[in-house]
Amino acid sequence: MYRVGIDTGGTFTDAVLLDDGGNMQVFKSSTTPDDFSIGVMECLAEAAISLDCELSGFLRDVSVIAHGSTVATNAVLTSNGAKVGSISTKGFRDTLELRRRKRPGEWFRKVRPVEPLCPRYLSLEVNERLRYTGEIITPLDEKDVLGAIKIFQDEGVESIAVCLLFSVINAVHEIRIKEIIESEYPTAFISLSSDVLPQLREYERTSTVVLDAYVSPTVVNYVAKLKQRLTEHDFNGEFLLMQSNGGVQSWDLAIKHGIGTLNSGPAAAFPASLYFAQSMDVQDILSVDMGGTSFDVALTKDRTIKTTTESTIAQHRNAYPMVDILTIGSGGGSIAWVNPAGLLKVGPQSAGASPGPACYGRGGTTPTVTDANLILGYLDPEYFLGGRMRVDHNAARAAFDPLAATLGVSVVEAAEAVYTVVNENMGNAISEACVRYGYDPRDFLLVVGGGAGATHAVRQAQKLQIPRMLIPKQAPVYCALGLVLSDLKHDFVRTFFSRLRQADFNHINKLIDEMRSSGRDALISEGISDHDISFRALGDMRYVGQFREIEIELPDSVLNTDSIDEIEAAFSRKHEQLYTYSDPSREIEIVALKGVAIGAATRPEPASQSLEGYNAGSALRTERPVYFSESKDFVTTPIYEGALLKPGNSVGGPAVIEETAMTLPVPPGVTFTVDEFGNYLATIEHASR
């Protein structure tokens, strides 16, 4: 039987095939933006061909497909989600419009905030009111609900977001509204704030539930179409969807809240980075992934991924739990351009999968990062994707001609400038991802993924003086591998507001037990056995008077007043790490309790091989001119075939290592060694402190 991880990216759809013996195969096909499910099926068809069988015969032998996609993300970025109507407590219809009263560019008065995903004329109110403690002050007026539904039907609303005041304490009115909608408007998708995000802060909760209502129908339709295609080809295994929290869920649970699939593809980088770093006994990892359209950075400290509830997507606030991924528009397809001030910029606009970079020969005419890499000699026109795809050197140069003329330099100088700028952008992103948590990037192992990651990673490590870097053989399908290695994961949150030393610990334990029980039930329904289930309890806390809270892991035991000192000490350590100070004299208050239920996935042990000599001469394939900034010119450079390199072989720069789906330029002063697992480890001169 096989397990498959398949990730739909901006340019390519990647798949990893894992058999019961831990053997791994990788596949790539072009992404199909008009219907992503077509690209998924084409990638699976390539896997079937490699096994010399029909697609249906192959899928009958697949026990699990874990899938990450950009469907939800694209729906927001392209403003192509569902038509949303919302229901709020009387007097609160303008929550989305008011936001936090901050402009997207605070110093530019003419910059308008993004239009809400639910327009004001579809933001309707109902008469009801709860006290902050949950008691009913004003009963729900069901006539108001029926009137709102009638308007939604007349306006063709597809999805309804319900966010009432203090429903995080008592959801009785939201539940009743859902019952009425299901009776009167059964075709509408319904998103309740008490289900999606039962947490304080009205704007964040409203924005998140509207975002969920906006993307969920698109996700449901996509998953239904893909499931149908898979079923037609005899797939009867388990279908899992990657979640933004870094874990997978069964599709029937995942589609209840489509917001959980935002950034689901990049979130899979976390389990992939842990898998590759485990043999090195490394606790702190910087995971970077450079694909066709974006560059993603995720940070793992003490083998625990950083998560956040303070993200935005296209300026829309999202408080749903997500892996804290810093994403910038720097990928292989990122377009180079000159701004009105005459400065060279790269991205965030991308040529995407269609038409793609100019060198792909699909109609693209704009200069991209991939075109620059081809001009500089890093890519071989005859060996792109192992020779399965030819790229056009002349088309790349033609695309760069106007840019070079604008800058007043040669085509090669323009390409080198683009390469430098995109590397600077990515290095700055890595630095920002570390600094905002108070960490030094030099203390981390840099694990590099993505089809374009290896071509640029050395320059980022040099810029930030990172001494250790690992580029896996499977880097081109980094997130697809992460999908098949991911644990099942469910997040829960309960509003609980109290000063720590005055807290009702019996009530705290009751809420934690509720979350633990819900997580266990969900995981058991997904086929996870009891001994593979773990649970973490967390608390959002702050000093009294602070506006922002920080997340603290709670002791793994029944909490009581004896736990207070331990919790306060953990809070002080975290506060000092983030803000450089703590104040034990100040009182601490709890804002929310959280639970994380995890079902451990079965992961194969990396297959190791005995180390051979350092001499890589048997893998030397040819030579060609390659541009290196150290020489400011093209250098006749040895080209090594990655498939022929053996564990223990070392390649020092200047050189180029070519794998089937990635190219690794090795600058002067840098040495790559193949470890016992077939991955590339870098030794970078002058990178230590």
- The tokens describing 208, both together, are 């998140």
Question: What pLDDT does 688 receive?
Answer: 46
State the Cα–Cα distance between residues 448 and 287, nearest whole angstrom.
Answer: 6
Report the pLDDT averaged over residues 587-596: 94
Greatest mean pLDDT among 100-109, 345-354, 360-369 lies in: 360-369
Residue 653, pLDDT above cutoff 50: yes
State the Cα–Cα distance between residues 622 and 600, nearest whole angstrom.
Answer: 46
Strand 62-68 relative to strand 238-242: parallel, antiparallel, unpaired?
A: parallel
The mean of the pLDDT values for the chain is 90
State the Cα–Cα distance between residues 583 and 4, nearest whole angstrom.
Answer: 50
State the Cα–Cα distance between residues 5 and 379, nearest whole angstrom.
Answer: 27
Question: What pLDDT does 102 receive?
Answer: 66
- The tokens describing 580, both together, are 């450089």
Residue 315's nearest CA partner among 105, 122, 88 is 105
**Is residue 318 a contact partner of residue 311, using CB atoms and an 8 Å limit?**
yes
pLDDT, tens digit, for every residue of 519-542?
Answer: 999 999 998 999 999 999 999 999
- Residue 327, beta-bridge partner list: 296
State the Cα–Cα distance between residues 263 and 69, nearest whole angstrom.
Answer: 8
State the Cα–Cα distance between residues 536 and 418, nearest whole angstrom.
Answer: 45
Q: CB-based contacts of 428: which residues, under 8 Å, 6+ apart?
A: none
pLDDT, tens digit, for every residue of 627-652?
Answer: 999 988 999 999 999 989 999 999 99
Question: What pLDDT does 274 receive?
Answer: 87
pLDDT, tens digit, for every residue of 46-100?
Answer: 999 988 999 999 999 999 999 998 888 888 878 889 999 999 999 999 998 888 7
The band of 103, judged by pLDDT with boundaries at 50, 70 and 90, is low
The total number of residues written for the chain in this structure: 689
SS3 612: coil
- Give the CA distances from residue 273 to residues 281, 291, 303, 485, in Å, rounded to whole numbers and listed in that order: 12, 16, 10, 10
Report the pLDDT averaged over residues 587-602: 92
Question: What pLDDT does 582 receive?
Answer: 92
Alpha helices of 170-294 — where are they, by DSSP H? 172-184, 193-196, 202-232, 251-254, 264-267, 269-277
**DSSP code at position 188:** S
Maximum distance among all Cα pairs of the chain, rounded to whole angstroms: 81
Q: What's at 688, amino acid-wise?
A: S
State the Cα–Cα distance between residues 81 and 218, nearest whole angstrom.
Answer: 6
* Domain residue extents for the chain: 79-217, 488-599
- The tokens describing 177, both together, are 């509204």
Alpha helices of 323-391 — where are they, by DSSP H? 369-375
SS3 82: coil
- The tokens describing 290, both together, are 């450079």
pLDDT, tens digit, for every residue of 180-230?
Answer: 999 999 999 999 999 999 988 899 999 999 999 999 999 999 999 999 999
State the Cα–Cα distance between residues 506 and 529, nearest whole angstrom.
Answer: 29
Cα radius of gyration rounded to whole Å, the chain: 26
Question: What pLDDT does 10 receive?
Answer: 72
Q: Which helix (H) or strand (E) holds 250?
A: strand 248-250
Q: Which helix (H) or strand (E) holds 578?
A: helix 564-579
**Is residue 280 a contact partner of residue 445, using CB atoms and an 8 Å limit?**
yes
State the Cα–Cα distance between residues 91 and 58, nearest whole angstrom.
Answer: 57
- Residue 566, beta-bridge partner list: none
pLDDT, tens digit, for every residue of 15-32?
Answer: 999 888 778 888 888 888
Q: What's at 80, amino acid-wise?
A: N
**Is residue 597 a contact partner of residue 533, using CB atoms and an 8 Å limit?**
yes
Percentage with pLDDT > 90 across the chain: 61
Q: What's at 634, amino acid-wise?
A: F
State the Cα–Cα distance between residues 357 and 334, nearest whole angstrom.
Answer: 8
Torsion over CA: 334, 73, 63, 603 (sign): positive
Please state which CATH number belongs to domain 488-599.
3.30.1490
